[in-house]
Amino acid sequence: MLGMKVFDNIIGHDKIIENMMKSVELGKISHAYILEGEPGSGKSMLAGLFAKALQCENENQEDKPCGRCKSCLQAVSNNHPDIIKVIHEKASIGVDDIRIQVNSDIGVKPYSSPYKIYIIDDADKMTEQAQNALLKTIEEPPGYGVLLLLASNASKLLPTILSRCVILKLKPVSVSDIKKYLMEKHQVPDYMAEISAKFSQGNVGKAIRYASSEEFIEGKNEVLHLLKYVDEMKTYELLEGIKRLTERKLEIYDYIDLMILWYRDVLLFKVTNNPNLLLYREEFAFIKKDAQKSSYEGIEEVIKAMEKAKERLRSNVNFEIAIELMLLVIKENGNG
């Protein structure tokens, strides 16, 4: 089936793809879906392909999206009049964004397609007022209306929205599948594919970024240096070290993720005492030392502080303030 071949570039998420294709084939479409997964997990690609399949003009339901018809070509060029991507300029999606781009537009019938599809990326960044405004549309949508809400954390959405949507959760992809994908589709050498897949934690987008960055290994080693000697360094020295990392090609979020993986290893070793389970296995001596001097609560506080730092940075909080707050928690919890 050509329709299924279109999904070949997405690895993993087989059940979600099967759910989508069956819905298209049977014509049983919900008015609202939530695709939940961390950045880089494939939410946008899945939503785009689902929208493309729904609007495809091919009469053979099993051959959607065909990739050849006018509708498919418009979708590929991001020029489809009935696939609307909701945009926002601020850190959050405000009530006016929803009222103007969704509520006041959805009453107008589709221009040339069976559906009018709205893709709301970062849906979990909607303010409560924006969510309440969207709820009215979800409760009483026109027959042709389909809402695709993409969220990293669906728990930030109102329970009333969650209860009215089909929720599709994107799960981590296996290391072996990601490694194979990197080697076959991106011609990444074996060792680089292995390490990128391993540290991506099942996130294909992240693995591609790691594998395509010549500086990933060097950046990872710099992160390790900071983490191994965090107790001996002053906060300002650590801050300068992290600033240097941002001059590399990867995003600051990737480096914070590598730090989170370190502390997850520390926590894992503290619980299991098994070095074979560690991601940073080659740094076992340092992991063991951190596990011995740190409390369970302290390690968990550090991981929370790192997640909070990412959240602050995405909300455009000043870089130095966000990172310094994170480092203070690391320093405070470094000695149990």
CB distance 113 to 53 below 8 Å: no
Q: What predicted TM-score, i.e. pTM, was given to this entire model?
A: 0.85
CA distances from 218 to 48, 91, 98, 244 (A): 35, 31, 43, 12
pLDDT score for 64? 86
pLDDT score for 158? 97
Low-confidence ranges of the chain (pLDDT < 50): 1-2, 335-336
Hey, is 35 helix, strand or coil?
Answer: strand
What number of other Cβ atoms are within 10 A of residue 271's Cβ? 11
How does DSSP assign 139-208, residue by residue? HS--TTEEEEEEES-GGGS-HHHHTTSEEEEPPPPPHHHHHHHHHHHS---HHHHHHHHHHHTT-HHHHH
Question: In this structure, are strands 116-120 and 32-36 parallel, antiparallel, or unpaired?
Answer: unpaired
List alpha helices for 35-102, DSSP H.
Answer: 43-55, 70-76, 95-98
CB distance 114 to 80 below 8 Å: no
Q: Which residues contact 27 (CB under 8 A, 6 or more apart)?
A: 61
Cα–Cα dist 83/75, whole Å: 7
The owner of tokens 């989170």 is 260
Cα–Cα dist 256/265, whole Å: 14
For 185, the token pair is 């589709």
pLDDT score for 8? 61
Architecture category of domain 213-332 in CATH: Up-down Bundle (1.20)
Residue 212 exposed, middle or buried by CB count within 10 Å (0-12, 13-18, 19+) = middle
Q: What is the location of CATH 3.40.50.300 in the chain?
A: 2-169
Q: Find residue 167's DSSP bridge partners.
A: 34
Q: Which residues contact 280 (CB under 8 A, 6 or more apart)?
A: 224, 261, 262, 265, 287
Q: What is the location of CATH 1.20.272.10 in the chain?
A: 213-332
CB distance 50 to 44 below 8 Å: no
Q: What is the CATH number of domain 2-169?
A: 3.40.50.300
